[in-house]
């Protein structure tokens, strides 16, 4: 009598190997805990390789991120790494931006070639963010070690800082140790909301660089605050996807969650041991890998010249 | 309703190439198990089909799901370099699942005619692209990659002839990716590359146990299901976080 290692998932319409799903959840949860990103950009394609339809993979992943980010947010909250005030402002901006983004994508689709615009924007943005983060953190790591100071490019012109200071509704964000206009997180939250609605991603790995470079928040607070924000975004996505598209496979989500919540706990502890610059350089590496993967998919001839609607 | 579905499935299989004009009807086929129960432990299964064909015949056994329209996007090059999803294309009259197995004596080209390549004759591509045949070929490739369409999806064994008939037994490997519905099972008696007799039966697949409950929740009470899924995920996250907090007590 052997223990069954597979489980049939009625919404996904396929059976999966339990250990493989737990392992996948654990690996992606680890990254999520370290960097504060949802990991959907990794999880969805890997689930598709296991025979889960793309739409179900993405929606169920959102459901598991709800659990993983609850666990991640709590541990970061205990470590004092969540700027709730900033998180809420970003969230409000994100909801407004997400709604605008959904309308924008409708207009783009009506104009035709929307997919093309989206993919190009994605590759350019990921490339830009990835390379910028990589070289910026490399520069500051070298500087910290006292080696050739690599003449770090002025990270953000002072005109930007002056403009930020001139904005109305300046307020303190004590947890992040910064003073900024309340409009800034609203604006950037909205921008990420628009982008993630258009691209169909959670936006964690766009939001993290925005917090670091645009909002000038310390890296450790960025990770906790990002998870806090991701939690609410994914609750919204789960309920919307379940009620409108019936694509949330709860059992799959629960299996992934078991793996990822544990992974996220270890991730948060690993992240705490790493320097801010190290975190940034590793995250930039992941962002660049995703960028190159997308670029490859755009350039290489696909095996089958068809795609299921709702997939990538 | 089920009778209607069976008629549709019968028409669908009959519409596939059949070589000779009229074919006799085979004695009733026996499918084991007679129905597919998709429970939590379902991970694909072997379906046995037994019957008799006229002596000297070879056998092709096919299983086909209900005809469906698949909505997809055609990939094409933009600016001559980038591969992107372009035109929408709908493939109608395509079975959800299609499996074929042939006895050893069936020539490869005959097996192909009644197998996946033969489906190209009846699947219609609705698109503005003039090269519809190429698109249907891509669709068959796509479905095979998804393991939903398969030739050589099992073995057909022929027993020694008796009373002018050859008993056969076929084992079809039904995939794990299966949705509830009625599936048609058909046996073709083949002589000299043509169908001389055919027989058909139907098999129903349905959710039982936990999958039935979950599917009912997800489709019948969708918003509640979404809210519950979120709440349980949050609770799961809290519990795991609690466990870890316990194991780290006194760490800071």
Q: pLDDT per residue over A127-137, tens digit each?
A: 888 898 888 88
Distance from CA of B215 to the nearest CA of A (A): 6
Exposure string for B208-219, b = 16+ CB within 10 A, e = fewer: eeebbebbebbe
Helix A183-199, helix A84-111: angle, nearest 10: 40
Q: Which of A218, A276, A205 is nearest to A81 (CA)?
A: A218
Question: A163 pLDDT band (50/70/90 cuts)?
Answer: confident
Q: Is A151 a residue whose pLDDT tops 80? A: no
Write out the two tokens for B167. Answer: 């008993």
Residue A9 has pLDDT above 80, yes or no: yes
The ipTM is: 0.79
Query: How many beta-carbon pairs below 8 A join chains A and B?
Result: 183
Asked whether the beta carbons of residue A116 and residue B229 sit closer than 8 angstroms, the reply is: no
Beta bridge partners of residue A112, listed in sequence order:
none
165-204 of B, contacting A, C-beta below 8 A:
176-179
Do the chains contact at A246 and B176, CB–CB below 8 Å?
Answer: no
Give first-to-last CA distance, chain B, whole Å.
66
Supply the pLDDT for residue B55: 93
Q: Is A242 on the interface with B (CB under 8 A)?
A: yes
pLDDT in tens, chain B (252 residues): 455 555 555 555 555 554 444 678 999 999 999 999 999 999 999 999 999 999 999 999 999 999 999 998 888 887 788 887 778 899 999 999 999 999 999 999 999 999 999 999 999 999 887 888 999 999 999 999 988 999 999 999 999 999 999 999 999 999 999 999 999 999 999 999 899 999 999 999 999 999 999 999 999 999 999 999 999 999 998 888 788 775 543 333
What is the pLDDT, as a whole number, of residue B246? 58
Whether residues B229 and A68 touch (CB distance < 8 A) is answered with no
Segment A10-21 shows an average pLDDT of: 92
Nearest 10 degrees: CA dihedral of B78, A49, A33, A287?
Answer: -20
CA dihedral (A158, A162, A167, A171) in degrees, to 10, reads 80
Q: Does A103 touch chain B (CB under 8 A)?
A: no
pLDDT value at position B250? Answer: 33
Q: How far apart are the first and last CA of chain A?
A: 41
DSSP label of A82: -
């Amino acid at each position: 009598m052997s223990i069954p290692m597979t489980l049939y998932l009625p919404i996904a319409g396929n059976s999966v190997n339990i250990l493989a799903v737990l392992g996948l959840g654990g690996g992606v949860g680890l990254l999520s805990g370290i960097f504060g990103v949802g990991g959907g950009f990794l999880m969805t394609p890997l689930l598709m390789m296991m025979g889960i339809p793309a739409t179900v993979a993405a929606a169920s992943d959102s459901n598991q991120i709800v659990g993983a980010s609850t666990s991640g947010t709590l541990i970061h909250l205990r470590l004092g790494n969540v700027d709730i005030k900033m998180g809420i402002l970003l969230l409000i901006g994100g909801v407004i931006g997400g709604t605008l983004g959904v309308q924008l994508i409708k207009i783009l689709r009506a104009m035709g070639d929307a997919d093309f615009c989206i993919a190009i924007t994605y590759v350019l943005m990921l490339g830009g963010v990835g390379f910028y983060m990589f070289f910026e953190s490399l520069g500051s790591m070298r500087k910290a070690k006292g080696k050739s100071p690599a003449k770090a490019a002025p990270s953000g012109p002072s005109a930007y800082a002056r403009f930020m200071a001139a904005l109305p509704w300046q307020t303190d964000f004590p947890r992040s140790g910064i003073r900024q206009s309340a409009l800034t997180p609203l604006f950037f939250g909205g921008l990420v909301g628009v982008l993630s609605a258009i691209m169909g991603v959670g936006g964690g790995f766009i939001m993290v660089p925005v917090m670091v470079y645009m909002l000038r928040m310390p890296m450790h607070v960025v990770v906790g605050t990002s998870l806090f924000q991701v939690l609410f975004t994914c609750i919204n996505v789960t309920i919307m996807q379940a009620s409108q598209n019936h694509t949330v496979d709860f059992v799959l989500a629960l299996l992934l969650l078991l793996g990822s919540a544990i992974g996220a706990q270890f991730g948060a502890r690993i992240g705490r041991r790493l320097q801010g610059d190290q975190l940034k350089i590793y995250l930039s590496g992941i962002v660049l890998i995703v960028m190159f993967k997308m670029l490859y998919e755009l350039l290489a001839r696909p095996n089958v010249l068809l795609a299921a609607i709702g997939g990538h | 309703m089920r009778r209607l579905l069976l008629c549709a499935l019968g028409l669908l299989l009959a519409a596939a190439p059949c070589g000779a004009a009229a074919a006799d009807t085979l004695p009733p086929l026996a499918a084991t198990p007679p129905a597919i129960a998709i429970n939590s432990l379902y991970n694909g299964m072997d379906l046995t089909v037994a019957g008799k064909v006229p002596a000297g015949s070879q056998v092709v056994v096919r299983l086909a799901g209900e005809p469906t329209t698949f909505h997809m996007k055609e990939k094409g090059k933009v600016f001559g370099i980038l591969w992107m999803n372009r035109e929408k294309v709908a493939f109608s009259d395509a079975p959800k699942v299609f499996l074929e197995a042939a006895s050893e004596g069936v020539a490869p080209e005959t097996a192909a005619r009644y197998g996946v390549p033969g489906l190209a004759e009846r699947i219609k591509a609705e698109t503005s692209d003039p090269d519809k045949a190429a698109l249907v070929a891509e669709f068959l490739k796509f479905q095979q990659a998804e393991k939903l369409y398969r030739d050589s999806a099992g073995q057909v064994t022929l027993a020694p002839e008796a009373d002018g008939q050859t008993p056969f037994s076929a084992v079809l490997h039904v995939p794990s990716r299966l949705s509830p519905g009625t599936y048609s099972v058909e046996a073709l008696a083949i002589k000299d590359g043509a169908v001389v007799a055919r027989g058909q039966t139907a098999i129903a697949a349905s959710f039982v146990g936990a999958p039935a409950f979950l599917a009912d929740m997800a489709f019948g009470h969708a918003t509640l299901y979404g809210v519950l899924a979120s709440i349980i995920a949050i609770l799961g996250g809290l519990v795991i976080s609690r466990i870890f907090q316990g194991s780290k007590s006194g760490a800071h």
